[in-house]
Structure 1
Amino acid sequence: MTEQVPATELNNRMNRFREMMDRHNPDWEMAVIFSKINLLYFTGSMPEGMLIIERNSGEALWVRRSYERTCDESLFANIHPMNSYRDAAASYSQLPDTIYLETEFVPLAVYNRFRKHFPFQDYRPLDAQVAATRAVKSHWEIQYMEQAGAIHRLVLEEKVPQILREGMSEADLAAELYALMVKEGHQGTARFGMLDTEIVVAQLGFGDSSLYPTNFDGPGGNRGLNAAVPSLGSRERKLQKGDLVFVDMAIGVNGYHSDKTMTYMFGHPLSEEVINIHRQCVEIQNKVARMLKPGNIPETIYETIMEELSPDFLENFMGFGSRRVKFLGHGIGLTVDELPVLAQKFREPLVENMVFAVEPKKGIPGVGMVGIENTFVVTPDGGRSITGNSQGLILVE
């Protein structure tokens, strides 16, 4: 498999995680990883199983399904089959009183089944240490994010204007957009860390459909197909001349994502007032990008931008009505929504090769959600866009 995670990459990740645990939890003795995304990060495969990390010993990946596939995919050094947690428990004669777990992920039923065979006394979270380890990308990781970004630029800046046509539905656009994405190299799925979050293709909408409330923690909206599938696009809403078209989507390559939002004016330009609001969002994006340098503080970036905005502009900024989000951008990698976030309470300095999706947007009644989003790599010279440099609000006649 040509896209295997190199053994050196896996070793570096594990060493950095151990350093994080030593720094923040100096008494830790054992950590256990269950989530498939974190298993992929640390082992290069995503089986049903668990990774046990002992502070004073090594690491072992225990696989229930499928051991054969995992051995084929992974260059991790220590892989064992198991039918149940009982099989793994036989290899651990002594357990610490406290085990560190992914408290943001592990369901109570899994916890109880695990504890039945690993009778520890207490647990503590390791989510922050894993997130901090994943936040700084290697050159190996960034190459795949750059590939995703190149697909993003091609599809949203060049291909979508060619497929927009009067009378097509939002669902039609979603179907044609998905085919384009996969044809150009998208992995076919986008993953989120947020609990029970699904976006099939994109968050997209014509006109004020892009303001419709959703359960997604982002500034945009969409009506979707129905209550069961609120994230695709309406079959009833048809594209008309004068519509704003809003498309916010993630692209993935070999597990790694980029994130981009593009807007279009279909048929004829929107009003100069709307265009000026959009241009201000683009300038906000550019200001944030210039501050994406090692050592800068996410909270300071957020507060600096927000303090510069007028009360009128802040109305419906980063959302619509009461549904405003309290960030300007978010980390991205194996999931679309990673840490850190460009928001208050995130005070750890930026590090070179962190990657952020920056997305200043503003809802306009009767028009829709204007604004922009691109994915940037933190460098000493500021954020480097890997998803293109279009100003958005492309006129499609």
Structure 2
Amino acid sequence: MTDATTRPPAIPFTTDDYAARMARVVADGKAAGLDGVLVTPGPDLVWLTDYQPTAITERLTMLFLTPDEAPTLLVPALERPDAEAAAGAPATTLVDWADGTDPYTAASNRLRSDGRYAVSDSAWAMHLLGLQTVLPRSTYHSFTERLPMLRAVKDSNELGRLTAAGAAADATYDQILGVRFSGRRETDVAGDLADLLRSHGHEQVDFTVVGSGPNGANPHHEAGERVIEVGDCVVLDFGGLMFGYGSDTSRTVCVGEPSAEVREVHEIVRAAQEAGVEAVRPGVPCQEIDRAARKVITDAGYGEQFIHRTGHGIGVTTHEPPYMVEGEEQPLVPGMCFSVEPGIYLPGRFGVRIEDIVTVTQDAGRRLNNTDRHLQLVE
């Protein structure tokens, strides 16, 4: 694995790439019975235009994607130079509004008075309410509700970035196995994970979960001041962004020799994770991945201790649709990328979780994380 100083650069996305994404969103919106799609600052805007305002402020920024007009990006006048510099800017018409004028009136000029629109989940309530004030007959729906697969299917460039991020996370795990755990605080090991992720090319570290002993029974435990002890089971869950795309992997290790119970629980989770990955293939509903992993754990008598969904999508954010959860009937499509991460959590005692990012291929699934999933021992 190359480090940050020698890693190959990602292939830049082009104006044509961004234009194609916008055209696809327009078509998807029309197919969903919408009059248009409204995109505010956040991951959707970055994915569609490469534009991320210096700060997401109270000033309205909005991309309008409608069937009857070219893509239009409305920005505050003082932020226009930054918007013009974005890679996707040539594929849009830029319009600005000045402080002291009403941005919602400027926005309404590009919308139907009775239109039905999907709006970014990250949109500020004040902006949505502002639009509703000037267009009281218009209606709005969240992306998750109407366009849940907006960013779900990755192209080859995106897959390359996710693959590189996964390999960097794997290299981080390989190295953390050689770090001393016992006698150190969870925050110390979390800091080691963050440093290693950056050394292997991550430009952003989003989370470094280190759940030792009873803390491992909390799936979203924040690394704290607990001193790790010999005999502890330790859940490691870490990731961030590399080339703008996410990594996310979990492994559970033991400090010194594990108990027979820890070995048993870990093996059940490993088998469940394997079953979830083996269930991946095109056309299979997302919920079947959850069912496959959950069945192994339930059959082993720990069903009530598996307290979360089996997986989530990943891309320009580490959590996004699709979700591997009961009730999600969206079929898998080649190019989708998501986690498979079953776990067992025994309150007050310990937890075990194993997680890989998986992409759907033409006939199965391919892991983007490839470190050993068997229980590893650390000092």
Normalising by structure 1, report the TM-score.
0.82
AA aligned to 1:294 is: P
- After TM superposition, the structure 1 = structure 2 runs for residues 74-85 of structure 1, keeping only pairs within 5 Å, are 74-76=87-89, 77-78=91-92, 79-83=94-98
Kept in 1, the 8 Å contact 2:210–2:235? The answer is yes
Provide the C-alpha distance between the structure 2 equivalents of 1:22 and 1:189, rounded to a whole number of angstroms: 37
User: How far apart are 1:40 and its partner, in Å?
Assistant: 0.5
Q: 1:97: which partner in 2?
A: 114
State yes or no: 1:71 paired with 2:84: yes
User: How far apart are 1:264 and its partner, in Å?
Assistant: 1.3
State yes or no: 1:168 paired with 2:184: yes
Provide the C-alpha distance between the structure 2 equivalents of 1:210 and 1:341, rounded to a whole number of angstroms: 23
State yes or no: 1:287 paired with 2:275: yes
Partner SS state of residue 315, structure 1: helix
AA aligned to 1:81 is: D
User: How far apart are 1:90 and its partner, in Å?
Assistant: 4.7
User: How far apart are 1:66 and its partner, in Å?
Assistant: 3.0
User: How far apart are 1:388 and its partner, in Å?
Assistant: 1.5
- After TM superposition, the structure 1 = structure 2 runs for residues 92-171 of structure 1, keeping only pairs within 5 Å, are 92=109, 95-102=112-119, 104-115=121-132, 118-128=134-144, 129-156=146-173, 158-171=174-187
Q: 1:50: which partner in 2?
A: 62
CA offset digits 1:84-139 (Å, max 9, x no partner) = 573684583773312414263333322233445x5352222151444312111111
What are the ranges of 5 or more consecutive residues in structure 1 without an aligned counterpart? Answer: 191-200, 213-219, 223-230, 318-323
Provide the C-alpha distance between the structure 2 equivalents of 1:189 and 1:181, rounded to a whole number of angstroms: 7
- Seen in structure 2, the aligned counterparts of structure 1 residues 115 and 242 have a Cα distance that, compared at 3 Å, is same
Partner SS state of residue 134, structure 1: coil
Q: 1:196: which partner in 2?
A: none
Kept in 2, the 8 Å contact 1:148–1:256? The answer is yes
Provide the C-alpha distance between the structure 1 equivalents of 2:327 and 2:13, rounded to a whole number of angstroms: 33
Q: 1:310: which partner in 2?
A: 299
AA aligned to 1:137 is: K
CA offset digits 1:11-34 (Å, max 9, x no partner) = 222222122212221xx3333211
User: How far apart are 1:54 and its partner, in Å?
Assistant: 2.1
The root-mean-square deviation of aligned C-alpha atoms, in Å, is 2.5
Kept in 1, the 8 Å contact 2:19–2:88? The answer is no
Kept in 1, the 8 Å contact 2:113–2:135? The answer is no
User: How far apart are 1:163 and its partner, in Å?
Assistant: 2.2
User: How far apart are 1:206 and its partner, in Å?
Assistant: 1.3
Kept in 2, the 8 Å contact 1:243–1:367? The answer is no
- Seen in structure 2, the aligned counterparts of structure 1 residues 10 and 100 have a Cα distance that, compared at 3 Å, is same
State yes or no: 1:19 paired with 2:31: no
AA aligned to 2:378 is: V
Q: 2:17: which partner in 1?
A: 9
What are the ranges of 5 or more consecutive residues in structure 2 without an aligned counterpart? Answer: 1-8
Kept in 2, the 8 Å contact 1:205–1:246? The answer is yes
Provide the C-alpha distance between the structure 2 equivalents of 1:275 and 1:94, rounded to a whole number of angstroms: 60
State yes or no: 1:386 paired with 2:375: no
User: How far apart are 1:4 and its partner, in Å?
Assistant: 4.4
Q: 2:5: which partner in 1?
A: none
Kept in 2, the 8 Å contact 1:102–1:125? The answer is yes
CA offset digits 1:214-243 (Å, max 9, x no partner) = xxxxxx142xxxxxxxx3x222x1122111
Q: 2:320: which partner in 1?
A: 338
Provide the C-alpha distance between the structure 2 equivalents of 1:50 and 1:284, rounded to a whole number of angstroms: 43
User: How far apart are 1:146 and its partner, in Å?
Assistant: 0.9
AA aligned to 2:234 is: V
State yes or no: 1:243 paired with 2:232: yes
Kept in 1, the 8 Å contact 2:63–2:71? The answer is yes
CA offset digits 1:181-222 (Å, max 9, x no partner) = 1122112243xxxxxxxxxx322221111224xxxxxxx142
AA aligned to 2:51 is: S
Q: 1:354: which partner in 2?
A: 336
- Seen in structure 2, the aligned counterparts of structure 1 residues 40 and 103 have a Cα distance that, compared at 3 Å, is closer
Provide the C-alpha distance between the structure 2 equivalents of 1:151 and 1:103, rounded to a whole number of angstroms: 30
Provide the C-alpha distance between the structure 2 equivalents of 1:148 and 1:94, rounded to a whole number of angstroms: 39
User: How far apart are 1:261 and its partner, in Å?
Assistant: 0.4
Provide the C-alpha distance between the structure 2 equivalents of 1:368 and 1:61, rounded to a whole number of angstroms: 50
Provide the C-alpha distance between the structure 1 equivalents of 2:182 and 2:171, rounded to a whole number of angstroms: 22
Provide the C-alpha distance between the structure 2 equivalents of 1:58 and 1:144, rounded to a whole number of angstroms: 29
Kept in 2, the 8 Å contact 1:258–1:357? The answer is no
Normalising by structure 2, report the TM-score.
0.86
- After TM superposition, the structure 1 = structure 2 runs for residues 168-247 of structure 1, keeping only pairs within 5 Å, are 168-190=184-206, 201-212=207-218, 220-222=219-221, 231=222, 233-235=223-225, 237-247=226-236
User: How far apart are 1:348 and its partner, in Å?
Assistant: 2.0
User: How far apart are 1:357 and its partner, in Å?
Assistant: 0.5
- Seen in structure 2, the aligned counterparts of structure 1 residues 291 and 80 have a Cα distance that, compared at 3 Å, is same
- Seen in structure 2, the aligned counterparts of structure 1 residues 154 and 138 have a Cα distance that, compared at 3 Å, is same
Kept in 1, the 8 Å contact 2:356–2:367? The answer is yes
AA aligned to 1:271 is: S
User: How far apart are 1:386 and its partner, in Å?
Assistant: 0.9
Partner SS state of residue 363, structure 1: strand
AA aligned to 2:127 is: V
Kept in 2, the 8 Å contact 1:207–1:245? The answer is yes
